[in-house]
Amino acid sequence: MIDTLDQALSFQSTALKLRSERQQMLSANIANADTPNYKAVDFDFGRALANATGAQNGAAATQPVQLAATAPGHSGGTTLSSLPVNVQYRTASQASVDGNTVEMDSERAQFAENAVRYEAALKFLNGQIKTMLSAVQS
């Protein structure tokens, strides 16, 4: 019974985790808009969701990205999530003098779009849970 409920909710749960991780990446890009040589990062949400749900269905999952320690004081951690995401550097449409590839208008638009999609996924998951509760209570 629990496995059936878990399977029913796992897709939206995975989508929420990926949306949250993408939101953190986009906010890091915005926070580093003035950092010289900062390279904006993002990932293909559709591909990451397909990989994550395929991994849950028995396919081999990719390992989380290992962060590089570029100085002796740095600690090598991993990404925030164990979900398989392929982090990519974003190509700037207009070159900047300091080497930063963050374009604030694009980042803000993607941040807002991701936030709306996160809210939609959350409402859909909430609706699924309410439907299951009403079925159990009937």
In 59-108, beta strands by DSSP E: 88-89
Is 107 within 8 Å of 1 (Cβ atoms)? no
What pLDDT score does 138 carry? 75
pLDDT in tens, 69-88: 667 766 555 444 566 788 99
pLDDT in tens, 18-65: 999 999 999 999 999 999 999 999 999 999 999 988 855 544 444 445
What pLDDT score does 86 carry? 87
What pLDDT score does 55 carry? 59
More confident residue, 9 or 121: 121
Q: Which residue range forms the structural domain that includes residue 19?
A: 2-137
Q: Based on the number of CB atoms within 10 Å of its own CB, is 29 exposed (0-12), middle (13-18) or buried (19 or more)?
A: buried
pLDDT in tens, 84-134: 788 999 888 887 899 999 999 999 999 999 999 999 999 999 998 999 889
What pLDDT score does 63 carry? 46
H helix runs in the chain, sequence order? 2-31, 45-56, 104-137
In total, how many domains does the chain have? 1
- Cα–Cα distance for residue pair 21/30, rounded to 1 Å: 14
Is 102 within 8 Å of 38 (Cβ atoms)? yes
Mean pLDDT, the chain, integer: 83
Q: Any residues with CB less than 8 A from the CB of 124 and at least 6 apart, and which?
A: 12
